[in-house]
Amino acid sequence: MFYREAGDFKTSYKSDQQTFPLKLDKILFWLTMAIAAFVIPFFLNEYWEKAIFLPFFIYALAAIGLNILTGYCGQVSLGTGGFMAVGAYASFKLMTGFPAMDMFLVIMIAGLVTAGVGVLFGLPSLRIKGFYLAVATLASQFFLVWLFNKWEWTYNYSATGQINSPERDFLGIVVTGAYTKPWATYLFCLGFLFLFAWIARNLVRGRIGRSWMAIRDMDIAAEIIGVNPLVAKMSAFAISSFFVGVAGALYFSVWLGAAEPTEAFSIDQSFDVLFMIIIGGLGSILGSLIGAAFIVLLPVLFKNVFVGLLGIPTDIAEFSQIILVGALIVFFLIKEPHGIVAYWRTLKGKLRLWPFPY
Amino acid sequence: MSDTNKMAVAESVSDRRFGEPIMEMKNITMRFGGVIAIQDISFDILQGEIRAIIGPNGAGKSSMLNVINGFYHPQEGEIWFGGEKRSPMKPYQIAYQGIARTFQNIALFKGMSTLDNIMTGRFTHMKTNIFSQVLWRGAAEKEEHENREIVEKVIDFLEIQSIRKTEVGKLPYGLQKRVELGRALAAEPKLLLLDEPMAGMNVEEKEDMSRFILDVNDEFGTTVALIEHDMGVVMDIADRVVVMDYGKKIGDDTPENILKNQAVIDAYLGVAND
Amino acid sequence: MFFLVDPFFYEIVISGLLAGVMYALVALGFVLIFKASGIFNFAQGVLALFAALTLVGFQTGQIPFAHLLSVFGLHATHWGAGFPTVIALLFSLLVMIGLAWLIVQIVLKPLVNQEGIILFMATIGLAYVLEGVGDLMWGANVKMLDVGLPEGPSEFILDTTDMFIDKLEISAAVVAIVLVTVLTLFSAYTKMGRALRAVADDHQAALSVGISLETIWWIVWSVSGIVALVAGVMWGAKSGVQFSLSLIALKALPVLMLGGFTSIPGAIVGGLMIGLGEKLFEFYVGPMIGGATENWFAYMLALLFLLFRPQGLFGEKIIERV
């Protein structure tokens, strides 16, 4: 009744290809954005900033990045943690080497560096496919973590091996370091997510997105229609790594403030982001967001409800979490490989017809 | 096809004039290890004609298409396209030359809709760079809409408007074959290669497909080379036929003459039971 | 050529080879499952961990899920002194067979005919579930494992050649060789082995000739589980039963890439090459670049290998047909 599209005819290709074909969708989206940008910052406290929103924005960015590579282009990567490290360490070197540089530039350049590294480690994909490639990406994961542990230049020869984020600003507002205001970091990360989600959307609905999906679905046929596999795969690696690098840079400089490679960028990170896109939905930007929200919020939920409310010991809560995530992965792969986003679309489909059943 | 249709087609076939050879295969030999898939085969495809390649299973027909496509590189022989000798190229470069193809076992992109699949056929015609694509509004969007228009024409031509947004993996076999044809047509190819386009179809579907192929050849002047097992179809729509058997060429003539060719009858056709 | 007369070089070589045998043990489980079901079982390492945990649990008389039950008021951790080692091994074997059945029913059957990559990701999920369950059942603390295998440096070898070689590692090598021989013969010469190979080739075809996929899978995963138990015991006796055991599985991946995913002898050869390569690289090149290269060397080696020979040394060539 409300969610109607009867009578809502598209009379131009432009309107047919909109991101939000249904008017109600569009209104809801902009309303959510308005609340996110103009309302929440006023009520934000540090807990919500550091425990909920920042990790969500950052992981959503990483998830979109990985989805481009794995969901859209079909190249499975278990090296996300390592690439986030590249972004983080690149931003660290830039912040310490060029103290006057604006943080926006720092983050973007860090992303660019990661894109380059991504292309390098993506080269094997030209010869290797499927889970052979997944295993090859493990090489990049372990190598990069080792590199940032051993190569002292990357952590400015510090005795602890840890990198710390100095205070830097964006257009004059402090966004890194110990004295940031919650609304500042919140809006900074939200801005990046909005910008990059928009870029991702534009890329996947056009020529380059189609070339990625063609490679994913049948790379032999993709060649027949003129897709150069090298260009398609390397562009997927480059752009995906750019996103992941930006996420990694924000992860370290804005959110954590300090990092050490083995813990912050371990293979668990790689799995976490992979789980986000499996649960949320492969090949979907909205799915990346949903998956990120899920994986970020689950431990918070467990901690507050199970431990806080029900008094269950923390280690049991932790084990249960691991079991739940693993079980959900298996569940989604069996029941709905397109993730939560598929359920969302089915729900919307039903809403369109409501109150009619079909 | 009914008798009256058959006559109408036969008349138009004999009336047709064909141009210079668009493709010439010269002494092609293709080996896989010890197996000789294609042995010293030469034939040409004239501009504007419909050329059929027939022969028993395992004769090397698909391998021949794969050679034309660039998947296989023959150990011996030359390929001439558009009057020029073709140097060894990758399949995606050959796509840019203007050769499009369908496959025996349907090579559609199962995760995409019909529309998106056919849009991929326009890939070689789209040129906007990545920065324009990132911005979308402006050059990239305009190019997308221009190509969308062409794709819609193909969709109209093949009468598949109703399944435009359906994920092709969900379509029945016959429609998938049609979508695959659409993808090849969208590329506006100079040479269209069809690998058993009628496989697995019933009589009606075959008539539809034959009609599409003839229309494409007639309206757009597209040269067609097709592998086909149904001799009735070959008689109806082909201008000339190449017959292969065990990697060798045993016949190269019009359909009527091929029927009388003893070697072809022995190897493939057999004697008709009337 | 100094290093060839340096006895320390040989010690490293042998130590590397023996480490390689340990890797091969884990890789073996992978190969079996891959051969029979085309699945790359990421959970193989966790299976080894779980098997070892279960064994220790039976040996020491732990109550499963004790920690969880304590939340509900049951405050006991042990029901007695535990079973003798042989009985404990037997029970653990049964548990692994039962676990294999569960895995087939819950994970494999619903995913029959899916692509390899989907199955692979499902095994990642499975690995997480097993890890959590293992922790919940037996606790996450490090446990000592003792099955009565000889330990300590072999005096005989020490006396004759001045080399420090652990008896445990020798036992592991012997066990591995026996296991490989048995499995290779089984796969090649028995009716069951043939059925396994048929299933690996084509699920649907195998079904159509009357082979019961379910039974085959159950057998394969059980055998794999037993191999995992052996691997878990060997590794556990060497370094204690702890979470890092499951990370060994990750190391088995490069082993497989070198040896080929479908070859049982390949698992051994691959394991030996990785074990040897790692130790030599770390010893000779490691000090120049900061050490701890064992974290990534195996993967880099495998990666290079994959680029030139994607099917590994003994694996089957992957042919793509248009």
Pairing mode, if any, of strands B248-253 and B240-245? antiparallel
Per-residue pLDDT band for C163 (boundaries 50, 70, 90) equals low
Smallest CA–CA separation between B7 and chain C, in Å? Answer: 37
Q: What is the mean pLDDT of residues A62-81?
A: 94
A142 neighbourhood in chain C, CB within 8 Å = 295-296, 299
C322 neighbourhood in chain B, CB within 8 Å = 62, 66, 71, 103, 107
pLDDT in tens, A238-268: 999 999 999 999 999 999 999 988 889 998 8
Q: What is the mean pLDDT of residues A195-203?
A: 94
% chain A with pLDDT above 90: 46
Which has the minimum average pLDDT: B45-49, C6-10, C131-135, C291-295? C6-10
Per-residue pLDDT band for A236 (boundaries 50, 70, 90) equals very high
Q: What is the mean pLDDT of residues B34-41?
A: 89
Contact of C319 with chain B, judged by CB distance below 8 Å, is answered with: no
Q: What is the mean pLDDT of residues C113-141?
A: 84
Smallest CA–CA separation between A169 and chain C, in Å? Answer: 36
Q: Give the long-range contacts of residues A36-41, CB within 8 A, separation 24 or more.
A: A36/A190, A37/A187, A37/A190, A40/A186, A41/A182, A41/A183, A41/A186, A41/A187
* Residue from B5, B8, B13, B18 nearest B221 by CA: B18
pLDDT in tens, B211-239: 999 999 988 889 999 999 888 889 889 99
Q: What is the mean pLDDT of residues A232-239?
A: 95
Sorted by where each begins, the domain ranges of chain C are 31-236, 243-322
- How many beta-carbon pairs below 8 A join chains A and C? 126
Calculate the dihedral angle through the C-alpha atoms of A73, A74, A75, A79, rounding to the nearest 10 degrees. Answer: 100
Pairing mode, if any, of strands A258-259 and A173-174? unpaired
Query: Do A203 and B120 lie within an 8 Å CB cutoff?
Result: no
pLDDT in tens, C208-241: 777 777 888 888 888 888 888 888 888 787 777 7
Greater confidence, C14 or B194? B194
C260 conformational bin, left if phi > 0, alpha if psi -120 to 50, beta if neither: left
The pLDDT value recorded for residue A249 is 96
Does position B4 have pLDDT exceeding 50, yes or no?
no
Per-residue pLDDT band for A3 (boundaries 50, 70, 90) equals low
* Residue from C146, C142, C148, C150 nearest C167 by CA: C150
Which has the minimum average pLDDT: B199-203, C15-19, C73-77? C73-77
Q: What is the mean pLDDT of residues C75-96?
A: 84
Contact A180, A192 (CB under 8 A): no
Query: Do A333 and C121 lie within an 8 Å CB cutoff?
Result: yes
Task: Please state, rounded to an integer, the average pLDDT across all residues of chain B.
Answer: 86
Q: What is the mean pLDDT of residues C272-286?
A: 87
Contact B32, B199 (CB under 8 A): no
The pLDDT value recorded for residue B1 is 44
The pLDDT value recorded for residue B8 is 43
Smallest CA–CA separation between A230 and chain B, in Å? Answer: 11
Does position B3 have pLDDT exceeding 60, yes or no?
no
Q: How many residues does chain B have?
A: 274
Q: What is the mean pLDDT of residues B72-84?
A: 90
Contact of A333 with chain C, judged by CB distance below 8 Å, is answered with: yes
Does position C4 have pLDDT exceeding 70, yes or no?
no
Query: Do B116 and A13 lie within an 8 Å CB cutoff?
Result: no
Chain C residue whose CA is closest to B71: C322
pLDDT in tens, A78-130: 999 999 999 999 999 999 999 989 999 999 999 999 999 999 999 888 888 77
* Residue from A296, A267, A290 nearest A278 by CA: A290
Chain B residue whose CA is closest to A215: B109
% chain C with pLDDT above 90: 6
pLDDT in tens, B128-164: 888 888 888 888 888 999 999 999 999 999 999 999 9
Does position B174 have pLDDT exceeding 90, yes or no?
no
Which of A11, A119, A207 has the most B C-beta neighbours within 10 Å, making it the best mutation to test the interface with B?
A207
Sorted by where each begins, the domain ranges of chain B are 1-98+189-198+223-274
Contact of C322 with chain B, judged by CB distance below 8 Å, is answered with: yes
Q: Which of A220-234, C20-34, C161-175 has the highest mean pLDDT?
A: A220-234
What pTM was estimated for this model as a whole?
0.87
A208 neighbourhood in chain B, CB within 8 Å = 130, 133
The pLDDT value recorded for residue B201 is 86
Does position B11 have pLDDT exceeding 50, yes or no?
no
* Residue from A295, A185, A77, B130 nearest A193 by CA: A185
Q: How far apart are CA B268 and CA B257, in angstroms?
A: 14
B72 neighbourhood in chain A, CB within 8 Å = none
Structure-token match 């481009």, residue found: A68
The pLDDT value recorded for residue C317 is 59
The pLDDT value recorded for residue C162 is 64
Q: Which of A302-306, C259-263, C297-301 has the highest mean pLDDT?
A: C297-301
Does position A281 have pLDDT exceeding 60, yes or no?
yes
Contact C33, C41 (CB under 8 A): yes
Does position B13 have pLDDT exceeding 50, yes or no?
no
Q: Using CB atoms, which residue from A13, A208, A224 is nearest to B101?
A: A224
**Alpha-carbon distances of B23 from B84, B267, C247, rounded to whole Å:** 9, 26, 57
Chain B residue whose CA is closest to C320: B71
Does position A336 have pLDDT exceeding 90, yes or no?
no
Query: Do A319 and C136 lie within an 8 Å CB cutoff?
Result: yes
The pLDDT value recorded for residue A57 is 96
Tell me the HSE value of C313 on the side-chain side, using a 13 A CA sphere: 17
Does position B30 have pLDDT exceeding 50, yes or no?
yes
B154 neighbourhood in chain A, CB within 8 Å = none
Chains with ≥3 CB–CB distances under 8 Å to B: A, C
% chain B with pLDDT above 90: 46
Does position B14 have pLDDT exceeding 60, yes or no?
no
B66 neighbourhood in chain C, CB within 8 Å = 322
Contact A124, C307 (CB under 8 A): yes
Q: What is the mean pLDDT of residues C296-312?
A: 80
**CATH fold of B1-98+189-198+223-274, please?**
Rossmann fold (3.40.50)
CB contact residues (below 8 A), chain B span 82-101, against chain A:
90-92, 95-96, 100-101
Contact of A17 with chain B, judged by CB distance below 8 Å, is answered with: yes
A211 neighbourhood in chain B, CB within 8 Å = 120, 123
Task: Please state, rounded to an integer, the average pLDDT across all residues of chain A.
Answer: 88
Does position C319 have pLDDT exceeding 70, yes or no?
no
Which ipTM was obtained for this model?
A: 0.84
Q: Using CB atoms, which residue from A202, A218, A220 is nearest to B134?
A: A202
The pLDDT value recorded for residue B16 is 59
Q: What is the mean pLDDT of residues B77-100?
A: 90
Q: What is the mean pLDDT of residues C130-150?
A: 81
The pLDDT value recorded for residue A197 is 95
Greater confidence, B106 or C311? B106
B69 neighbourhood in chain A, CB within 8 Å = 224
The pLDDT value recorded for residue C203 is 65
Per-residue pLDDT band for C120 (boundaries 50, 70, 90) equals confident
Residues contacting C208, CB < 8 A, separation 6+: none
Per-residue pLDDT band for C130 (boundaries 50, 70, 90) equals very high
